[in-house]
Amino acid sequence: MRFQFILCTALVGLLISKRANAASVNGYSVEDNDNTTEDEEQTPTSNIQPKCFKQSYQINAAGDLRELSDCSIISGDILISGYDDTVLDFGSISHIKGSLRVHNASSLLRIQGVELNAIDGTFGLNSLTSLTSISLPKLESIDTLEWKVLPILSLVNLDKGIKHINSVIMSDTSLTGFGGFNVESLKILNINNNRFLERIESSVKEVTESFLISANARTLQVSLPNLSWVKSITIKDTSNLNLNNLQIVENNAQFINNKFSQLKLPKLKSAGSTLSIINNQNLNKLDFPALVEIGGGLMVIDNDQVSDIDFFPALKSVGGAIEFQGNINDSQMEQLRIVKGSAIMKSSSSNFDCNKWINYEVSGVVRGGKIECGSGNSTVTEVLLVDEAGDITRGAPGVNSRINDDYSTDIRSGSATLVLSMVTVIAGLIISGTLMVI
């Protein structure tokens, strides 16, 4: 019995010793597992070289990057500045557990990485004035893509397609198309000043922080057929727009200086702040059949081919002011019940009936603002003041800026014509020799 006790004690001690040794291999902690073999007890982490584990790497030359060429995983940020070669090749690196930022490398023509699959932080490219192409055929995951001032970048190969990304910021490139981002949610989508960009396509369903498209190619077509929710949205300088599934805008929605002829949001139910439709010169068809509530103001201004405000048939509540300006003949918002601000109509059309608009459309719904209307050739507007209880008093006449703007333009044009005529007459007299100097 004593021998058996001693033997058991020895076996237990040996087992404890073996587990203690297995828990520390080459200085790295490994998980204990009774079912692993001796070869399996050493984790892959123990084989990674120390040079692959740093908080950040500063790369200034091709030689600096070649020193990391046998690292498949880089644990920190890679910061590349003033790079002196024409090609930036990431070799066998497949995963950067940090950010990759490249800037101010005027000699750099091409970025490539045949194995690079994931960048956990920001993929930032900035002020690379000679960069023409990027080839990362296996790249699938990025936190933030931030490309700025890449004026001749025209070719990007992301063959596998981005399946995980949180934010896209792309500015001042020569790319002609944007796509291949197969994600349902983005924090930021900001695409601006890409002068050759003619196409933006995405299956994204929500943009949770900000959405801006501005100053790209004049012929830009934007198709986001699955987008249903955005925090805010600004669309500028676009020739065609598909937002057919958009239902909620939490803050502002702005459509400004576009070239499209139609703006149809058939499923939009509410905008939490201001809805602005401004200076879209070709716009002649608008449709917001489901829009019931606007939390802020409503502005439809200087859309030259919009003659009737009849595209908000379900709108009941506006939390700020409404302002309409243009060559407007008529306005119909039969379901409107409250405007918590002013109601302003400035039309250059003599067909618009201010009396009808004031008395039958807005006087009963405005609370705590003014009602102002001017139409036709009148240079002044009628102004009524409305308190929060709905009581109305007459205010001092306002200015019909539509007429004054047109009048000022005519005066400037007439003055220029008069001056040109006088110069022509004087020149003729000089040539004929009949001009007398006294």
The string of pLDDT tens digits covering residues 89-118 is: 999 999 999 999 999 999 999 999 999 999
The string of pLDDT tens digits covering residues 199-214 is: 999 999 999 999 999 9
Pairing between strand 398-399 and 380-386?
antiparallel
Count of CB atoms situated within 10 Å of the CB of 397: 14
Percent residues over pLDDT 70 in the chain: 80
pLDDT for 427 equals 45
Structure tokens at 367: 């609370």
Contact 189, 206 (CB under 8 A): no
Q: Which residues have a Cβ under 8 Å from the Cβ of 284 and sit 6 or more positions away?
A: 261, 262, 305, 306
Q: Which of 215, 214, 213 is CA-nearest to residue 224?
A: 213
Contact 121, 99 (CB under 8 A): yes
pLDDT for 74 equals 95
Contact 346, 355 (CB under 8 A): no
pTM comes to 0.80
Query: Average pLDDT of the chain?
Result: 85
Place of tokens 């606007």: 294
The string of pLDDT tens digits covering residues 243-277 is: 999 999 999 999 999 999 999 999 999 999 999 99
CA distance 87 to 224: 35
Instruction: Beginning with the edge strand found earlier in the chain, give each strand of the sheet holding 199-201 in spatial order.
Output: 177-178, 199-201, 221-223, 240-242
Q: Which of 158, 159, 160, 163 is CA-nearest to residue 147?
A: 158
Distance set, CA 302 to CA 211, 306, 326, 330, 348 (Å): 23, 8, 5, 15, 11
With H, G, I as helix, E, B as strand and everything else as coil, classify residue 148: strand
424 or 160: which leads in pLDDT: 160
Q: Where are the domains of the chain?
A: 51-164
Instruction: Tell me the pLDDT band of 27, cut-offs 50, 70 and 90.
Output: very low
Instruction: Tell me the pLDDT band of 10, cut-offs 50, 70 and 90.
Output: very low
83 or 400: which leads in pLDDT: 83
Count of CB atoms situated within 10 Å of the CB of 20: 10
The string of pLDDT tens digits covering residues 62-76 is: 999 989 988 999 999
CA distance 282 to 376: 22
| 30-69 residues labelled b (16+ CB within 10 A) or e (exposed) | beeeeeeeeeebeeeeeeeeeebeeeebebeeeeebeebe
